[in-house]
Amino acid sequence: MKILIINGPNLNLLGKRQTDIYGNRSFEEYLDGLYKQYPQHQIDYFQSNCEGAIIDRLHADGFGVDAIVLNAGAYTHTSIAIADAVRSISAPVVEVHISNVNAREDYRRVSYLAEACCGSIVGFGLDSYRLAIEAVERLK
Ligand code: DQA
């Protein structure tokens, strides 16, 4: 399968940022493990801190890949535009969060993306991404 992982704002700082919540591992290190674990899949990765760049990438790959794993970071809680982009493409999109957004501040309980995505995986640390890959394998 062709799977695209998209990370949104501040997720480039994983391993350095609020390590009590997001852990000590960089995403690049975690991704290396994913590549090794799933050699049968073509996994691409894109990170941006810009809403428009995330939308552009959803448009560019959203008709060509088999699935997208999307952690839109804080845009999850604000972006109707990203939600509309998810609705506009043909690839199924799984919403992912490292932390359990439902157990944090009230504003993190709101997801504009959840309704547009085929499912959500939240709260399992970086393992949320692997669980999303396991989930999309079953969509085939
Ligand atoms: C996050 C949760 C968001 O609320 C937050 O803004 C992030 C990371 C997560 O993966 O837990 O940047 O998406």
Q: What is the pLDDT of residues 37-54, one digit of tens each?
A: 999 999 999 999 999 999
Say which of 30, 41, 59, 97 is annotated catalytic.
97
- Angle subtended at Cα 114 by Cα 29 and Cα 125, rounded to the nearest 5 degrees: 30
pLDDT, residue 112, reads: 98
Phi, psi (deg, nearest 5) at residue 70: -120, 115
pLDDT, residue 68, reads: 98
Pocket test for ligand 1, best of 99, 100, 121 (most atoms within 8 A of CB): 99
Angle, helices 27-37/127-137, rounded to nearest 10 degrees? 30
Nearest CA to ligand 1 atom 13: 73
Task: Check if the beta carbon of residue 68 is closer than 8 Å to that of residue 93.
Answer: yes
**What atom in ligand 1 is closest to the CA of residue 72?**
13
- SS3 annotation, 46-98: EECCCHHHHHHHHHHHCCCCCEEEEECHHHHHCCHHHHHHHHHCCCCEEEEEC
Residues 138, 94: Cα–Cα separation, whole Å: 12
Confirm whether pTM is higher than 0.85. yes
Segments of the chain with pLDDT less than 70: none
Half-sphere exposure of 38 (CA within 13 A, CB side): 20
